[in-house]
Chains A and B, each alone.
Chain A
Amino acid sequence: MRLVTGIVKPFKLDDVKIALESFGVHGMTVSEVQGFGRQRGHTEVYRGAEYTVAFVPKVKVEVLVDDADALDIVEVIAKAAQTGSIGDGKVWSMPVDEVVRVRTGERGVEAL
C-alpha cells in the first residue's frame, strides 16, 4: 500500500477530485495548507508599508492506494492539477506499513 500526496493550487481541487473519482478512487482526505516552493510568497501593501507574505495557500490531497495503482494515481493528480505556470505544486507517493478500517477492524488492502 502507498500514500499518494498532492500539494495543488486551491482552484484545481475540483479537477483533481473529479479525475480521481473517474479513475475509481473511493475516498480522499483534503486539507488547507500553506507553504512555498519556487513560487515564493507575494507582496501586500498596507498604508504604504510593503509586507511579504512568505507562505502561499495550497490544498493537500491525500489518497491511500494499492501498490499497483500508485504510479497511475500520481499521474492522474499531476495531470489534473497542471496549469503550466509556477506554483502548480508537487505530487509524491510513499510506502504505508499498515491500514485499519476503524468500523470493521479490517486490515491491509482489505481496509482501502
Chain B
Amino acid sequence: MDTVVDGASTGWVLICAALVLLMTPGLALFYGGMSRGKGVLNMLMMSFTALGLVSVMWVLYGYAIAFGESRGGLFGFSSGLLGLNDLVRGVTVDEAEGGVVNTFGLPDLAFSGFQMMFAILTVALISGAIADRMKFGAWVAFVILWGTAVYFPVAHWVFAFGVVEDGGEGAGASAGAFAADSGGWIVNRLGALDFAGGTAVHINAGAAALALILVLGKRRGFGREPMRPHNLPLVMLGAGLLWFGWFGFNAGSALAPSGLASLAFVNTQVATAAALLAWIGTERLRDGHATTLGAASGAVAGLVAITPACAAVTPPFAIIIGLVAGGACCIAVTLKHRLGYDDSLDVVGVHLVGGLVGTLMIGMVGDEEFAAGSSGLLLGGGLDLLGRQAIAAFAVMAYSFVITLVIAYLIKLTIGLRVTEEEEVAGIDQSVHAETAYEMMGGLAGNTNTGASSARPPAGAGRTSPTQTETVPS
C-alpha cells in the first residue's frame, strides 16, 4: 500500500469539503426565502442545527458506522474509528504508517471530513418539507435518530468501497480500501453506480421527507391560505451558493483533481443549465410565465439529477439528464396539491424525483468507458445496468421511508412532533425561538402575524419567554 501523502489529492478533497459545507447554509437560504416570513428563522435554524449535531455525531461514531469494517454490507463498525482515533495517529509523519493514508495517497482523515459534509447536507435537506410546524426539540431528536439509523448505514451501502476479495470487476476493485475487507452492498455486491449520492443523499432525504410529513401532517391552512415564498432574492442567493458548492460535491467525489473530476465538473454545470431551461420552459407553457423560483428550482433539480450520474455519462447525455429532470420535477411539484400532502418546499418533488431521474438515467445512457464497464439501455447495454440502478434506488427509498416512519411515530408518541395551533398561527419564529426575522413597521405590509409589535410571551412560555419591556442601560 502506497503510504505517501499525495498533496494534490489531499488539497483537492479538503477544498471540496469546504465547498460542500457551504451548501448547507446555501440550502438554508434557498429554503428560508421560500418559507413564509413568520417561519424563516426556524427554517434557517434547522439547517444550522444539522451542522452542529451531525458534525459531532460524525466524529464520535458516524464515520465508524459508515466506513468501519463492513458487517454483511449493511453497516460498518470499527471501534478504532470511534472519535476518528485511528485516523489521527501518524498525521505528523510524512510517510505515514498504517490506516492514515489509503491507496490514493489521500489521508482517511481528509476523506472523513469530506464525507461529514454530505451527512450534514442530507439531514438538512429534509427540513424543507416541514416548514412552520415542527417542534424544535423534535427536530433535534429527529436529526440524531435519523442520522444514526438511516444516513450512516445507507452511506455505508453506497459510499463504502471495499476491496473485492476475488479481485473481480466490482466498482470498488480499483478504488482503494475505505472499509476493511468488503464495503457496502450497493457499491460492491450490487455494483450500482452512484458517484456522489443520488441514492444515499437525494432519494434518501426525499423518501424520509415524505414519511415524516405523512406523520407530521399539513400546515394549518394548507390549500386554503396562500403560502407564498416571502423572499425570492434569498432563494436565488441560496440556489447560487448550492450550485457553487455542488462542484465540490460532484467533482470532489473523484477524490483527486483528475480527468474524472473534470468530467464530473463539466457534466454538473451543463446538466444544471439544461434543467434550469427545462423548468422555466415547462412552466412558461403550462402557467404562462417563466419565474425566478422556477429558474432556481430547475437548477437545483438538475444538480440533484446529475449527482449520481456526473462521472458515468458524456456531456451531451448530461444535458439530456438535465432536461428530463427539469421537466419531471416541474411537473412533480404540483402533485402535492392534488394528492393533499404538505411537502412545504418540495423536497419530494425535487430531491426524490430528481434523484430517481438521475439514478435511473444512468441505466439508460451510462457510457461503458466511465460506468464501470457497463452501458446503459440506450447505448446497447441491455437492461442489466438499469436493473441494478433500479434495485439501488428502490432499496434506499424503501429503507429510508420505513425507518423514518418508525422514527417519526416514536417522536410523536414521546415528546410530540408539532407545535401547538396557537404557536403555529402566531409564527414558529416568535413562539419557539423568541425572535422575528424582520421588524414590520410598514403597517399592513407583509404578514400581520409576523409583526414585531405584538411581542407577547409565547404560548407555553416559561423556558425563555422574552420580557415585554426592554431595559436600556443608561
Contact = CB atoms under 8 A, between A and B. Distances in A.
Interface of A: 31-34, 44-53, 55
Contact of A55 (B293, B346, B444): B444
B226 A48 contact: no
Contacts of B297: 47
Interface string B231-251: 000000000000000000000
A44 B228 contact: yes
Given A45-B291, A46-B293, A51 B286 contact: no
Given A52-B226, A53-B226, A47 B443 contact: no
A59 to B, nearest CB: 12
Nearest to B330: A48
A66 B293 CA distance: 51
B337 A49 contact: yes
A45 B333 contact: no
Contact of B226 (A31, A33, A34, A51): A51
B334 interface: yes
Contact of A48 (B229, B333, B444): B333
A46 B226 CA distance: 10
A34 B337 CA distance: 29
B234 to A, nearest CB: 14
Nearest to A33: B444
Contacts of B442: 32
A23 B330 CA distance: 55
Contacts of B229: 46
B289 A45 contact: yes
A45 B287 contact: yes
A33 B346 contact: no
B333 to A, nearest CB: 5
A46 B293 CA distance: 7
B294 A47 contact: yes
Nearest to A34: B444
B283 interface: yes
Nearest to A49: B337
B445 interface: yes
Interface in B258-294: 283, 286-289, 291, 293-294
A101 to B, nearest CB: 25
A48 B283 contact: yes
A87 to B, nearest CB: 17
Interface of B: 226, 228-229, 283, 286-289, 291, 293-294, 297, 330, 333-334, 337, 346, 442-445
- 4 tightest A-B contacts by CB? A51-B226, A48-B334, A47-B333, A45-B287
A57 B293 CA distance: 22
Contacts of A44: 228
A46 B334 contact: no
A31 B445 CA distance: 11
Contact of B228 (A32, A46, A48): A46
Instruction: Identify which of A48, A50, A55 gathers the most chain B CB atoms within 10 Å of its CB.
Output: A48
A49 B287 CA distance: 9
A52 B227 CA distance: 11
Contacts of A31: 443
A50 B288 CA distance: 11
Given A32-B444, A47-B294, A52-B226, 7 more contacts: A34-B444, A45-B291, A46-B293, A47-B333, A49-B337, A51-B228, A55-B444
Contacts of B288: 45
A49 B293 CA distance: 12
A60 to B, nearest CB: 10
A31 B337 CA distance: 37
A51 B226 CA distance: 6
Nearest to B336: A49
Contact of B286 (A32, A33, A48, A55): A48
22 contacts: A32-B445, A33-B443, A33-B444, A34-B445, A45-B283, A45-B287, A46-B229, A47-B294, A47-B297, A47-B330, A47-B333, A47-B334, A48-B283, A48-B286, A48-B287, A48-B330, A49-B334, A49-B337, A50-B287, A51-B226, A51-B228, A53-B226
